[in-house]
Amino acid sequence: MTESTDSPPRYSPLHAVHVAAGATFTDFAGWQMPVRYSSDLAEHHAVRSAAGLFDLSHMAEFEVSGAEAGAFLDHALAGRLSAIELGQAKYSLLLAPEGGIIDDLVVYRTGDSDFLVVANASNHDPVAAALADRIDGFDAMLRDTSDETALIAVQGPGSRAILEATAGFEAPGLDELRYYRAIEGTFRGERVLVARTGYTGEDGFELYVHPDLAEAVWTAVAEAGADKGIVPAGLASRDTLRLEAGMPLYGHELSLETFPVQAGLGRVPAMAKAAFVGREALEQGPATDAPVLVGLVADGRRAARADYAIYAEAADDAATEPIGVVTSGALSPTLGHPIAMAYVAPRFAEPDTELSVDIRGTRLTFRTTTLPFYRRKKD
């Protein structure tokens, strides 16, 4: 969560719907967003077993168009975006010249010379500034469409059946849409970009619509899923879902001080392509003793939380120095035991290494493990 500012809070176009549903709100990047409606556990389990309905309208969207739109994105981002197919999505990174991560984003190719870049809400301003700075010299246009876009996610094993039953919604080819692909759909004749993407570790879809259409889409999807187990879900359950799936969160696992290779994202930058911002720094790499991201698991019920110190020794020896720090942690609702992501010194990163985490003055044993903690069963 971000710190409060003096700026007035921003509200999703679905805010009135959330209020009527009894949501509890939290400040996220200056937006008042629903953190939960009923309980974190109920919403989490609904996504794993049926479906959850999320409002992600605080996310940042940018359209890039023009003859050299692909070449511009190849220069500005760390992936080969010009090579993705029409209707394909790709996870990428926006790097600082020094190699740190400004943001992780998803890029969709929506036309021969058109792309949609989706960034984290908390990084709207630095992403906008970096893209605007890097577009000079390219025959391309950048347009911030964040205020023109509402984003609704339907996540869970029942998500496709619910969308297919949604009155007024049409998306020919939905049944054949592959993961990280997008198609054009309509709702009551109005355009909807339908993407098979998400941040929960489950099958699901994200619907990009005009804000004026958001409430009607949300209501229609909720009605279609009423007998299929769908529930509105807030940011708290989204966080435990993405944690189980081993997905990084900016400000926790990713930052300007983090190189992609440290976060397990070393394959995201396309090092074989022509120069992109940050490439020289990546070629040099971080220091050999720079911490790396690992998963942690433990028995019992006490969870390690963000910023908890990690030690190599299990004993309560105040003289020892930490060898790492927890970035995200929770008692896994799906697995029933504590899980966490953490940065540790490389020599402690081997799977099944026993470490200890200081949990409110008591050091408890955790074991390193590979990510993710949870993988959904494929159809």
Asked if 277 contacts 270 with a C-beta cutoff of 8 angstroms, the reply is no
pLDDT value, residue 53: 98
| pLDDT value of residue 318 | 54
Query: What is the Cα–Cα distance from 270 to 79, expressed in whole angstroms?
Result: 5
Q: Is pLDDT above 60 for 190?
A: yes
The per-residue pLDDT for 379 is: 61
Q: Which two tokens stand for residue 1?
A: 């969560």
Is the pLDDT score of 4 beyond 70? no
Amino acid at 375: R
Position 163 scores a pLDDT of: 98
With cut-offs at 50, 70 and 90, classify the pLDDT of residue 377. Answer: confident
Which pLDDT value is given to residue 138?
98
Calpha distance 21→53 (Å, rounded): 12
Residue 338: both structure tokens together: 């504590």
User: Mean pLDDT throughout 270-296?
Assistant: 94
| Mean pLDDT, the chain, integer | 95
Cross-strand partners of 230? 51
Using the CB atoms, write b or e for 38-57: b if 16+ within 10 Å.
bebeebbbbbbebbbbbbbb
Where residue 274 falls among pLDDT bands split at 50, 70, 90?
A: confident
Lowest mean pLDDT among 48-52, 147-151, 219-223, 272-276: 272-276
Q: What is the pLDDT of residue 158?
A: 98
Rounded distance, CA 330 to CA 239, Å? 9
pLDDT band (50, 70, 90) for residue 320: confident
pLDDT at 248: 98
Please check the confidence at residue 5 and state whether its pLDDT lies above 70. Answer: no
Pairwise pLDDT comparison (180 vs 1), residue with the higher score: 180
Range in 1-5, 70-74, 107-111, 265-269 with the lowest mean pLDDT: 1-5
The model's confidence at residue 316, banded by pLDDT at 50, 70 and 90, is: low
pLDDT band at 76 (very low <50, low <70, confident <90, very high): very high
Tell me the average pLDDT across 324-342.
98
Contact criterion met (CB below 8 Å) for 339 and 305: no
Spatial CA neighbour of 200 closest among 366, 38, 372: 372
CA–CA dist 304, 272 (Å, integer): 39
Q: What is the pTM of this model?
A: 0.95
- Could you tell me the pLDDT band of residue 239, with boundaries at 50, 70 and 90? very high
Residue type, 377: K
pLDDT average, residue stretch 84-109: 98
